[in-house]
Amino acid sequence: MTGYSTSMRIRLPVVCVVLEVILIILFGVLVKYDHETDAKGWHKYIKNHNNKSQVENDFYYRYASFQDVHVMIFIGFGFLMTFLKRYGYGSVGFNFLIASFSLQWATLMQGFFHGMKEDGKIHIGVESMINADFCTGAVLISFGAVLGKTSPVQLLIMAVFEVTIFAINEYVILNVVGAKDAGGSMTIHTFGAYFGLVVTRILYRPELEKSKHKEGAVYHSDLFAMIGTIYLWMFWPSFNSAITAHGDDQHRTAMNTYYSLASCTLATFAMSALVNHEGKLDMVHIQNAALAGGVAMGTAGEMMLTPFGSMIVGFLAGTISTLGYKYLTPILNSKLKVQDTCGIHNLHGMPGILGAIVGAVTAATATADIYGDGMEDVFPDMAAGDISASQQGIRQAVALAVAMAFALVGGVLVGFILKIPIFGSPPDTICFEDQIYWELPEEEDDDHAEMTRVRTVEEKPLNA
């Protein structure tokens, strides 16, 4: 039954090389520098602008946001998932692998659906790099649901399809429906979460109980995970504001996110102590639910929600998320057979929906009096008089439905593809375990082992 072998010796190199060669060929055929990155193009471009300084700044504003988002994708997601005691290599390593693939593939898919120019080429610059990282974020969210239960080949295959579906979904939401979603409550979080949840449902492992003892943390693995948490938390203002309009939009988005997250953190600590019968805090809640305030600000962040409103939303998000970890995850697992390793339903799913709803309500109550000339940046169609605030609100609600639909249908499709038994998926008994795909060092260093031995010997006489 070679189909059930988990060896990556041939499969992983073949998949990596084939994918990368396809990427390289497609980049060679389809991609060129945009006016920002092209030597000739840039110099032509700035000649036509009377304010070179302004134009140059556009790059730097975006580039600074890009670096912050980049940190979230690689350090944030990568280390957040290292909480598992024996899956640290897989968490940070596979995150690294599938993110590296996804950002390249996303450049093509997003370029294909959004930005093909009349020369039949995809023109790329800093903004496309941010968008590629955003799309990668959705893949990494889904990764959280199947963490520890999939081979790197399965993850790459998942990424191929998820990126593609993401790009279509994003195009529909932003360009067809005409909704706003700068920080991706719908396009990134809701989509990524429900996609991943459906995938893990299809990949349901009835015997996973046999790996249960490995599905927890040890002391230091929780601290590694906190590195991920804190980085996500700190840079979320940059994430939500990365592609909003310059000026007040970007300032406001960052600030709303900042206060939402701070409020969310207090709610998370409160709920975590409350639901524990000894009043002890649970690291799983702190690591995850404290971030829900950023997720929930992904749509309304750029709107005139006020810090007051943001703090309410953050508080709600932290509360819902913590309660989800405590009460909903076990039910999803036992009743719906959704084995959600990282609890992405609590961190990205419900807070994403909350964010979409807050966005819809906030949009529906927007007035010219509140936004003034700033309306154009936030709601261009309303500013142009094409639609009313209620209509924008409806668009937002439709967008949520679209995201859910793409996630559910896409997830089912991809889940079944991943079930094909040639991708080296681990058996139920060896999940959450690095040793299947990684060369591991000896369990501990020699000195320690020696010391343990010596101690044992010393203790003997007492018990002889």
Give the shortest CB-298-to-a second copy separation in angstroms: 18
Pairwise CA distance, residues 262 & 294, whole Å:
10
Looking at the Cβ atoms of 175 and 388, the one nearer to a second copy is: 388
Shortest spacing between CB 417 and a second copy, in angstroms: 20
- Sign (positive/negative) of CA torsion 399, 404, 405, 410? positive
Question: What's the angle, vertex CA 293, arms to CA 102 and CA 160, rounded to 5?
Answer: 15
**188-206 b/e with 16+ CB inside 10 Å = b?**
bbbbbbbbbbbbbbbbebe
Q: Least distance from C-beta 411 to a second copy, angstroms?
A: 25
Q: How far is the C-alpha of 250 from the C-alpha of 262, rounded, in Å? A: 19
Shortest distance, position 176 Cβ to a second copy, whole Å = 26
Shortest separation between residue 410's beta carbon and a second copy, angstroms: 23
Helix H or strand E encompassing 33: strand 31-33
Closest to a second copy by CB, 140 or 197: 140
How many CB atoms within 10 Å of residue 10? 10
Least separation in angstroms between CB 61 and a second copy? 6
Indicate the SS3 state at residue 294.
helix
Strands (E), 108-175: 122-124
336 phi, psi to nearest 5 deg: -100, 0
Give residue for tokens 């890009």: 66
At 258, is the secondary structure helix, strand, or coil? Answer: helix
Shortest distance, position 37 Cβ to a second copy, whole Å: 4
Q: How far is CA 453 from CA 442, 450, 461, in A?
A: 16, 5, 14
CB atoms within 10 A of CB 26: 17
